[in-house]
Structure 1
Amino acid sequence: MAGFAINSTIRLSSGSQIPRLGFGVYQISKDETKASVLEALKVGYRHIDTAQLYKNEQEVGEAVREFGIPREQIYITTKLRSDAKGYDSASEAIDGSLKRLNMDYVDLFLIHDPLAGAAARKATWKALIDAKKAGKIKDIGVSNYNLNHLEEIEAGGLELPAINQIELHPLNQQRPIVEWCDKRGITVEAYCPLIRGQFDIPVLQALVQKYNKDPAQILVRWSLQRGFIPLPRSSKLARIRSNAQVYDFNLSDEDVTQLDKLDKGTEGAISWNPIHAD
């Protein structure tokens, strides 16, 4: 994978192309979001990941328009807030995101979490399917969905998600979810790929020395080589640039395996990770 450009894409099960590397804007303030997204676009990111929960969709939209390249060259993801579950609420919320982003469509719309219960999850998913049919969304997916949540969709005979976005890094690899998705052609996106800066890990520090890369670059590289779509985020302009400088080296198979061995299962989770919802 070394040699690929930052805006290289992979094909989703739907046939759409999605950039291999995304830029997340979680916990970036409204004031900082626009500048951060502009810097990300400047250094080559073409995949921006926001959410209704983040309360910065408007600033993402402003940055995309100000940057000035054609809308279809930038992949925009947003997510449905937790209190907008059910068909009608979800439909209204989708329109709200389009209005705040000031866009005719989003490339990917995710259900942010599975917390609403089975009936509401199904109704919400149908709202996303219908919004896709109406041209408001190019691809639909979920976030923080465990096997039981995914199996509900499959058992209902409904369109499967193109994406499942989950907490994913060497300490928390969520292997059963990843395997289930892989078997069905569901692409896995990795949030918290940088372990929120918890870099004091001997194996990681040894690889930093071996490859002359910083810890974040090693972690993004691991995620890419495992076939995930990592979503590093930062409001620091220098970090935005360096997190994307991961296409000029490869981790060896042995070193990928070393990082794989750090998996602690769900005990390694460092974030919200609400995969155990009923």
Structure 2
Amino acid sequence: MHIPKFGLGTFRLKDQVVIDSVKTALDVGYRAIDTAQIYENEAEIGQAIADSGISADELFITTKIWTENCTPECLIPSLKESLHKLRLDRVNLTLLHWPAPKLGLNIAESMQALLEAKQQGLTAQIGVSNFNIAQTQQAIDSVGVEHIATNQIELSPYLQNSKLVEFLNAHAIDVTSYMTLAYGKVLQDPVLTKIATNHQASTAQIALAWALQRGFSVIPSSTKRENLIANLKAQQIQLSADDMQKIELLERNGREVNPEQLAPVWDE
């Protein structure tokens, strides 16, 4: 299974803003786009893809099933609706968006429904998002580790999630990092700023390079052409062992996204 190392995130981007972001990203070289049912922008992304003239075969599209659609009777119909909005016959990757323990989500049943969607050809790969170790193990027990392509989790220099990352690595499950810039909080960090100066790069590029060098996939979002291009160039930065060690020391459990009804008890 292959998850692209660099993609475009579209969280909080809607209407013409997301159309323009996706069009620009595709124009400057992005080929992976991450969306979700709850983002309410799948139709706009579908339009941007269609307008780009780029074949779906060249793209890697990820969407995520919202909690209320995770029941066995709702999951596949909701994914078909997402495909209709995206104007695609299938997506490359579909994830359960949140484990939602307080809402009573049945991980085993939801994963089996997701596997059925894969077997029907609606999605090439499946996985999870925002799952802790115990919940990822439940998903593994339900469908087999070979069917879990990734766990998409919040990761940044300020939130390094070492126990969960170690577990995922041990099971050969890809790690996808979202919120890699911690809502921009890392951009003024003095340690990152100094490393960026040494590499003639931006702090955003250093944070992304750190995640890439850890082996994570990243999906930063932007609406500005220059930032989309700059983010892509993070792939060309090679951080030293000393740089990586300094960034490792920035860990502060700085979680930005933790919705009470949806989030698990995180592994500390």
**Greater shift in the superposed pair: 151-160 or 248-257:** 151-160
Q: CA deviation at 1:19?
A: 1.9
Q: 2:170 aligns with which of 183, 190, 194?
A: 183
Q: Of 126, 130, 134, which residue of structure 1 is paired with 2:116?
A: 130
The residue aligned with 2:219 is 231
Q: Which residue of 2 aligns with 1:275?
A: 264
Aligned to 1:153: 139
Identity across matched positions, percent: 33
Identify which of 65, 79, 82 aligns with 1:97. 82
1:118 and 1:152 in contact (8 A); partners too: no
2:15 is equivalent to residue 30 of structure 1: yes
User: For the residues of structure 2 that align with 1:157 and 1:40, how far apart are their CA atoms?
Assistant: 34
Letter of the 1:233 partner, please give it: S
Higher helix share: 2
Deviation at 1:272, TM superposition (A): 3.1
Q: Distance in 1 between matches of 2:52 and 2:171?
A: 36
1:257 aligns with 2:245: yes
TM-score when scaled to structure 1? 0.89
Distance 1:229 1:261, change over 3 A: same
8 A Cα contact 1:21 1:229, kept in partner: yes
* Contact 1:18-1:47 at 8 Å conserved across structures: no
* Aligned-pair CA distance for 1:80: 0.6
**Among candidates 188, 196, 203, match of residue 191 of structure 2:** 203
Q: Does the aligned pair in 1 maintain the 2:115–2:143 contact within 8 Å?
A: no
Q: Aligned equivalents of 1:239 and 1:157: distance in 2? A: 39
Distance 1:200 1:69 in 2: 37
Q: Deviations over 1:127-172 (max 9, x none)?
A: 1100100111000000000011011123346354111000001110
Matched residue, 1:193:
180
Residues 1:259 and 1:123: Cα distance change in structure 2 (over 3 Å):
same
Secondary structure of 2:236 counterpart: coil
Cα distance, 1:269 vs structure 2: 0.6
Q: 1:81 to 1:254 in 2, by over 3 A?
A: same
| Aligned residue identity for 1:153 | A
> Which amino acid in structure 2 is aligned with residue 193 of structure 1?
T
Give the drift of 1:42.
1.0
SS of the aligned residue for 2:238 comes to coil
Residues 107 and 137, structure 1, Cα contact 8 Å, conserved in 2 = yes
CA distance in 1, matches of 2:97, 2:32: 18
Other-structure match for 1:216: 204
Q: Deviations over 1:155-211 (max 9, x none)?
A: 346354111000001110111111111111100000001121112211111112111
In 2: Cα distance, 1:153 partner to 1:19 partner: 22
Structure 1: gaps of 5 or more residues:
1-11
Query: CA separation of 1:157/1:25 partners in 2, compared to 1, >3 Å: closer, same or farther?
Result: closer
More off after superposition, 92-101 vs 242-251: 242-251
What root-mean-square deviation, in Å, do the aligned CA atoms of Structure 1 and Structure 2 show?
1.6
**Cα contact 1:77–1:109 (8 A) shared by 2:** yes
- Aligned residue for 1:139? 125
Q: What's the secondary structure of 1:235's corresponding residue?
A: coil
Name the counterpart of 2:234: 246
1:57 matched to 2:42? The reply is yes
Q: Using the alignment, how far apart are the partners of 1:213 and 1:32 within structure 2?
A: 27
